[in-house]
């Protein structure tokens, strides 16, 4: 599909202009009756609301203006009930397979014995934690919270771009985007029936509580472990703790007391049953992982190993969202579910393989090349928009450490309109639905975080690279 033929989620295929697609009919009817000056005023109002609430993120590596406001666009992304139902079936299948894969990798490793995945991709992977071998987390849940990044290229063509099985972020923006829209345009929500997302924190609390260890007495005590105020997602850590009615703690607030992980309170130290950690594996416990960590809790992993606390997501879960493992997800889904994957993977070349490396080097100008452990849009090459110098520099990195990279074709991502100076203008988007996993249930919040590339023609939606966000509507039946 060429850039000119891209799929627009409001208007359909670019070469067949006509009336809006059915999911957008209610919104467009409302939009056509609005004064552009009024909508521009509302855009400024939304920005001031976000600034007042303090919804910012940090951009690492920049000395000036490191803390930024994520741009918010007032045109919602609209998904029909039928489209969402299909997506949910695919997401649930994928998340079920990921959890089964993690249990297998840290136990019998049947998938390696069957030769479906090369052993070295696990044994030589930094995200693999040998200390998790043989350990059964409470409820056998490894990935309590998952963010699945999805892109669309056509009416019925959805691809998973990435699985986020460590500490997926962005859910606070999903909730605040909706609250902002409902505050500014209440009449719009009376005209279009949209499924709610505001109950996510309560669902998160219930889901985490359902994964509490067996020794829990009474209502499980849940705490959110944050690295502190300098972390880029600190706003979200504090937001979720507040909305869940959970404690927000740092490593210095916690210690191991009588074989339990306990937090400091006005009544002394009291046990924690579930720790929703937003701290990376390496920094969780200086006695078991990085000795120089000031963010974690000495002895935390020993209590976890003894079944005294639930850590969400489980240590070692990152092996499931490694980009080299991603390329095997169709095999992983089929191995553990017995069925073909409902949601497709983006075709992927593993640069660790000689033939793939040769192809990628020859076609760098056409491909997107990503670091296996990279995130946030950093460390990647978008070939079609890169200069010859950038491609030449990247080729040297690729030749030096080919196993660090995978490559994918440049997909013609779907577009959704944004409210620009000239009115509605198409921009490329992706979608991160949020999934909650407990022993007997998987809950997918109807919507998720839509990230939008605000620059015309850009395919990079990350906020750290100039992208913005918009409200995501899933229509009622």
Confidence band (pLDDT; 50, 70, 90) for 384? confident
pLDDT value of position 224: 98
pLDDT, tens digit, 9 for 90 and up, residues 180-189: 999 999 999 9
Confidence of residue 477 (pLDDT cuts 50, 70, 90): confident
What is the distance, to the nearest Å, from the Cα of residue 228 to the centroid of all Cα atoms in its chain?
A: 21
Count the Cβ atoms, other than its own, within 10 Å of residue 103.
17
**What DSSP designation does 20 have?**
P
| Residue 397, token pair as written in the block | 């990195």
Look at residue 368 and give its three-state secondary structure. strand
Q: How far apart are CA 200 and CA 360, in angstroms?
A: 41
Q: Cα 60 from chain centroid?
A: 19
* Cα–Cα distance measured from residue 117 to residue 127, given in angstroms and rounded to the nearest whole number: 16
What value does the mean pLDDT take over residues 106-112?
Answer: 98
CA gap 70, 305 in Å, rounded:
39
Give the Cα separation of 365 and 203 in Å (integer).
44
Burial 436-448 (b: 16+ CB within 10 A, else e): bbbeeebbbbbbb
Look up residue 195 and give its two tokens.
């499924």
* Residue 457 falls inside a structural domain: no
Phi, psi of 151, deg, nearest 5: -125, 160
Quote the CA–CA distance of 394 and 385 in Å, as a whole number.
Answer: 13
Tell me how long the chain is: 477
The per-residue pLDDT for 64 is 43
Note whether residue 422 is domain-resident. Answer: no
pLDDT at 69 over 70: yes
pLDDT of residue 458: 78
Q: What is the DSSP string of 292-317?
A: T-SSS-TTHHHHHHTTS-EEESPTTG
- pLDDT band at residue 16 using 50, 70 and 90 as cut-offs: low
The owner of tokens 């935390």 is 300
Whole-angstrom Cα distance, residue 265 to residue 244?
18
**Neighbouring-strand partners of residue 44:** none
Within-domain flag for 31: no
Is 396 a member of any domain?
yes
Q: Decide if 80 contacts 21 (C-beta within 8 A).
A: no
What would the pLDDT profile of 433-474 be if each residue is shown by its tens digit?
999 999 999 999 999 999 999 888 877 777 666 689 999 999
Helix (H) or strand (E) holding 96: helix 81-105
Mean pLDDT of 9-37: 87
pLDDT of residue 65: 44
Percent share of the chain, pLDDT over 90? 79
**Torsional sign, CA 205, 208, 211, 215:** negative
**Structural domain that includes position 399:** 347-410
- Residue 431 CB coordination number (10 Å): 23
Residue 57 lies in a domain: no
Domain count, the chain: 1
420/285 Cα distance (integer angstroms): 48
Q: Does some domain include residue 377?
A: yes
pLDDT, position 51: 82
CB distance 266 to 310 below 8 Å: no
Taking residues 97-110, report their average pLDDT.
98
* Structure confidence by residue, pLDDT tens digits, 133-160: 999 999 999 999 999 999 999 999 999 9
Return d(Cα 301, Cα 315) in angstroms, integer. 9
Confidence (pLDDT) at 63: 45
Q: Quick one: average pLDDT of 174-203?
A: 96
Cβ neighbours of residue 279 closer than 8 Å, sequence gap 6 or more? 167, 225, 226, 227, 251, 295, 296
CA distance 232 to 59: 7
Confidence (pLDDT) at 62: 46
Residue 284 has pLDDT above 50, yes or no: yes
pLDDT of amino acid 241: 97
Contacts of residue 111, defined as CB under 8 A and 6 or more positions apart, other chains included, come to 101, 104, 105, 117, 332, 335, 336
Q: What per-residue confidence (pLDDT) applies to 61?
A: 47
Q: Strand 12-13 and strand 434-438: pairing?
A: unpaired
Q: How confident is the model at residue 329 (pLDDT cuts 50, 70, 90)?
A: very high
Per the CB < 8 A criterion, the answer to whether 49 and 183 are in contact is yes
Determine the Cα–Cα distance for residues 88 and 126; give it in Å rounded to an integer: 31
Write down the pTM of the prediction: 0.92
- Encode burial over 341-377: b for 16+ CB neighbours within 10 A, e otherwise: bbbebbebbbbbeeebbeebbeebeebbbbbbeebeb
Q: Is 430 exposed, middle or buried (0-12, 13-18, 19+ CB in 10 A)?
A: buried
CB-hemisphere CA count at 13 Å for 282? 5
Between CA 333 and CA 30 the distance in angstroms is 42
Written as six digits, the tokens of 249 are 């703690």
Helix (H) or strand (E) holding 77: strand 72-79
Please report, for residues 92, 352, 418, 471, the alpha-carbon distance to residue 68 in angstroms, rounded to integers and kept in the order given: 34, 37, 20, 19
Mean pLDDT for all residues in the chain: 91
The pLDDT of residue 344: 95
Q: Is the pLDDT of residue 225 over 90?
A: yes
Closest CA to 372 of 398, 347, 354: 398
CA torsion, points 403, 98, 465, 399, in degrees to nearest 10?
10
CATH of the domain at 352: 3.30.1490.270
Question: Is the model more confident about 262 or about 2?
Answer: 262
Q: Indicate the pLDDT class of residue 66, thresholds 50, 70 and 90.
A: low
Average pLDDT over residues 328-355: 95
Q: Is the pLDDT of residue 1 over 50?
A: no
pLDDT digits over 353-382, tens only? 999 999 999 999 999 998 887 655 567 898
* Domain annotation covers residue 383: yes
Closest CA to 105 of 400, 315, 342, 399: 315
Asked if the structure places residue 261 within a domain, the reply is no
Q: What is the largest CA-CA distance in the chain?
A: 69
User: Above 80 in pLDDT, residue 54?
Assistant: no
- 59, pLDDT greater than 60: no
């Amino acid at each position: 599909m060429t850039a000119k033929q891209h799929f627009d989620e409001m208007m359909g295929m670019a070469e067949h202009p006509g009336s809006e697609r059915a999911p957008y009919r209610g919104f467009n009817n409302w939009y056509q009756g609005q004064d552009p000056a009024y909508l521009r005023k509302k855009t400024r109002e939304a920005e001031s609301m976000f600034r007042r609430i303090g919804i910012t993120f940090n951009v690492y590596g920049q000395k000036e203006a490191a803390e930024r406001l994520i741009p918010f666009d007032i045109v919602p992304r609209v998904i029909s009930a039928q489209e969402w139902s299909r997506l949910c079936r695919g997401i649930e299948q994928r998340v079920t397979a990921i959890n089964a894969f993690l249990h297998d990798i840290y136990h019998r490793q049947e998938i390696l014995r069957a030769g479906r995945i090369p052993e070295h991709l696990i044994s030589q992977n930094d995200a693999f934690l040998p200390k998790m071998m043989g350990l059964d987390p409470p409820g056998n849940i490894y990935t309590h919270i998952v963010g699945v990044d999805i892109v669309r290229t056509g009416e019925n063509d959805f691809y998973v771009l990435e699985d986020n099985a460590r500490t997926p972020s962005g859910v606070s923006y999903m909730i605040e985007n909706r609250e902002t829209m409902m505050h500014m345009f209440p009449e719009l929500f009376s005209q279009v029936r949209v499924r709610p997302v505001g109950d996510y924190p309560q669902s998160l609390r219930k889901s985490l509580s359902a994964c509490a260890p067996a020794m829990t007495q009474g209502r499980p005590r849940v705490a959110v472990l944050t690295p502190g105020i300098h972390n880029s997602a600190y706003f979200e850590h504090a937001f979720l703790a507040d909305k869940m009615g959970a404690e927000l703690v740092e490593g210095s607030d916690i210690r191991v007391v009588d074989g339990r992980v306990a937090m400091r309170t006005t009544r002394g130290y009291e046990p924690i049953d579930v720790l929703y950690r937003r701290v990376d594996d390496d920094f969780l416990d200086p006695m078991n992982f990085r000795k120089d960590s000031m963010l974690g809790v000495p002895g935390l992993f020993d209590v976890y190993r003894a079944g005294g606390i639930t850590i969400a997501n489980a240590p070692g879960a990152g092996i499931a969202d490694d980009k080299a493992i991603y390329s095997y997800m169709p095999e992983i889904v089929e191995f553990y579910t017995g069925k073909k994957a409902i949601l497709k993977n983006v075709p992927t070349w593993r640069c660790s393989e000689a033939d793939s490396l040769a192809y990628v080097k020859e076609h760098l100008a056409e491909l997107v090349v990503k670091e296996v452990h990279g995130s946030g849009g950093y460390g990647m090459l978008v070939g079609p928009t890169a200069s010859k110098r950038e491609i030449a520099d990247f080729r040297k990195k690729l030749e030096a450490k080919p196993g660090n990279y995978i490559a994918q074709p440049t997909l013609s991502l779907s577009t959704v309109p944004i409210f620009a100076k000239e009115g509605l203008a198409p921009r490329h988007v992706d979608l991160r639905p949020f999934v909650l996993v407990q022993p007997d249930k998987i809950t997918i919040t109807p919507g998720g975080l839509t990230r939008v590339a605000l620059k015309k023609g850009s395919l990079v939606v990350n906020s750290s690279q100039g992208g913005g966000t918009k409200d995501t509507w899933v229509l009622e039946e």
